[in-house]
Amino acid sequence: MDAISTSAGRDAGGRSRSLWASLVEAVRGSHQDYTAGSLNRAILLLAVPMVLEMVLESLFAVVDVFWVGRLGANAVATVGLTESMLSLVFAVGMGLSLSTTAMVARRIGEKDPEGAADAAVQAIALGLIVSVAVGLPCLLFAPRLLQWMGASPEIVSVGSGYARICLGGSCVVLLLFLNNAIFRGAGDAAIAMRLLWVSNIINLILDPCLIFGWGPFPKLGVTGAALATFTGRSIGVIYQFYRLLKGTERIRILRRQIHVHLEVLLRLVRVSLTGILQFAIAHTSWIGLVRIVSVFGAAALAGYTIAIRIVIFVILPSWGLSNAAATLVGQNLGAGKPERAETAVWRTGFYNVIFLGAVGVFFILFSTPVVRLFTHDPAVVPMAAACLRIVSYGNLGYAYFMVMMQAFNGAGDTVTPTIVNFFGFWLFEIPLAYGLAMPLHMRSNGVFFSIAIAESSMAVASAILFKQGRWKKRKI
């Protein structure tokens, strides 16, 4: 009996040491081939740095609204309206990023690092072109864009500077997304994590300094929040280019590769177009939701903004898990192992359900205390708490939906998620939100319920399509 107990203790201790060693390896950067060996270990090594990367990104989103919340409902509403428009830029960045990750991962899986570097260069070139095309008009017309979104004259007065910097400086957002997509596709998740940490830590330090004028910094109000974000992300982009040119074990861009390769560029554009459309559909649906919520006043809009920021705080780490699935799918398809790719997706989805399910229960039970960490406005607190509680009902659906969408994208199949998003967001969620809010008189709560119902429905649809397996035959 003592021998059995001793043996069990050794096994438990060995597993504990092995897990700790794997966690340390994941943060430092792993040299493992993700197309062979233990699948659970591969998921762990990829997911840990991607989750940590998204944890700080989500922390930034919450801390940002924490400080801006001290400036009043108009400042918070400015952030909500601007970010609903910035979501279109995010759609472009994410669409380009997912095609970049898929192509780089496929070349790495095929043991073709030069092809991966070539794809990376074309992605950056495409990102620079799009940055100028998007950023310049936004810089010139930011105040008018706020007016088109239904902002009051007070909000336009307070938020024009914020909108101008956020929307006009969207080039750094696009490049930050793209460059980290290159690292993720190559399997260098730890480098992508450290890059985003550098960027966001700088932003977190500058945020209160520029908003409230601490120390030698000017007091810029809500405009200071935008300037802090722009500065932090710009430094992050510079560091990204340094690492890409210096090279890693998996990918390095050589000077002779810095040129336009039209065939690869056009292939990337083809995959990116449906990817951009996919995220544009999703993000424009958020604009539609914001527009419906704004009908019920600044308090409802501020409450919605705060609650969604808190939701983002939780969901972004889940995107880290989803990104791990995308990399595993791309590399294993490149290595000719589609069944291993499929197993990785189902396992990652299960882990995501456990995480988001637990968080959903917490938010349902403690929505009001959580919201009070960010605002004490008696008109805003009940709105934000209701949004947080209702949206959390759909957490199990979100968990599988995110992983499935990224799995399709990692395979280079951007068409299927685009179709799911079109029917789910535009033809179901927005009409449902309007119907519940207006004719059924549920007001802003109707909008919140539509989010949980629509995304849970899309999770079921995407799981059925994934099971059919057409994504395994996609060539990129």
Per-residue pLDDT of 374-406, as tens digits, reads: 888 899 999 999 999 999 999 999 999 999 999
Is the confidence at residue 460, as pLDDT, over 70?
Answer: yes
Is the confidence at residue 146, as pLDDT, over 90?
Answer: no
In this prediction, residue 131 has a pLDDT band, given cuts at 50, 70 and 90, of confident
Q: Which two tokens stand for residue 124?
A: 């950056």
Q: Give the pLDDT confidence score for residue 316 in this predicted structure.
A: 76
Q: Which two tokens stand for residue 439?
A: 């004719």
Q: Give the pLDDT confidence score for residue 199 in this predicted structure.
A: 86
Q: Which residue has the tokens 């889940």?
A: 318
Q: Give the pLDDT confidence score for residue 388 in this predicted structure.
A: 95
Q: Which residue has the tokens 């399910």?
A: 357
Separation CA 385–CA 367 (nearest Å): 5
Is the confidence at residue 320, as pLDDT, over 70?
Answer: yes
**Three-state DSSP state, 308:** helix
Sign of the torsion formed by the C-alpha atoms of 369, 375, 379 and 383: negative
Is the confidence at residue 8, as pLDDT, over 50?
Answer: no
**Three-state DSSP state, 49:** helix
Go through the chain and tell me how many residues it has: 476
Strands (E), 214-340: none
Q: Which residue has the tokens 């685009």?
A: 418
Is the confidence at residue 5, as pLDDT, over 70?
Answer: no
* C-alpha closest to that of 236 among 172, 165, 168: 172
Longest dimension (CA), the chain: 78
Is the confidence at residue 218, as pLDDT, over 80?
Answer: yes
Q: Give the pLDDT confidence score for residue 476 in this predicted structure.
A: 78
Q: State percent of the chain over pLDDT 90.
A: 42
Separation CA 404–CA 398 (nearest Å): 10
Is the confidence at residue 447, as pLDDT, over 90?
Answer: yes
Contact between 243 and 250 (Cβ < 8 Å): no
Q: Give the pLDDT confidence score for residue 61 in this predicted structure.
A: 66
What is the mean pLDDT of the segment spanning 16-40?
A: 80
* C-alpha closest to that of 75 among 157, 148, 142, 158: 158
Separation CA 310–CA 324 (nearest Å): 23
Q: How many Cβ atoms from other residues are within 10 Å of residue 465's Cβ? A: 18
Is the confidence at residue 130, as pLDDT, over 80?
Answer: yes
What is the mean pLDDT of the segment spanning 408-413?
A: 92
* C-alpha closest to that of 129 among 175, 88, 168: 175
Q: What is the DSSP string of 460-472?
A: HHHHHHHHH-GGG
What is the mean pLDDT of the segment spanning 6-34?
A: 69
Separation CA 117–CA 294 (nearest Å): 45
Burial label, 271 (beta-carbon count in 10 A; 0-12, 13-18, 19+): buried
Is the confidence at residue 335, as pLDDT, over 50?
Answer: yes
Count each helix (H run) and each strand (E run) in the chain, helices first. 16, 0
Angle at 461 between CA 472 and CA 349, to 5 degrees: 65
Q: What separation, in Å, do the N-terminal and C-terminal C-alpha atoms of the chain show? A: 58
Q: Which of 21-30, 188-197, 413-422 has the lowest mean pLDDT?
A: 21-30
Q: State percent of the chain over pLDDT 70.
A: 95
Sign of the torsion formed by the C-alpha atoms of 455, 458, 459 and 460: positive
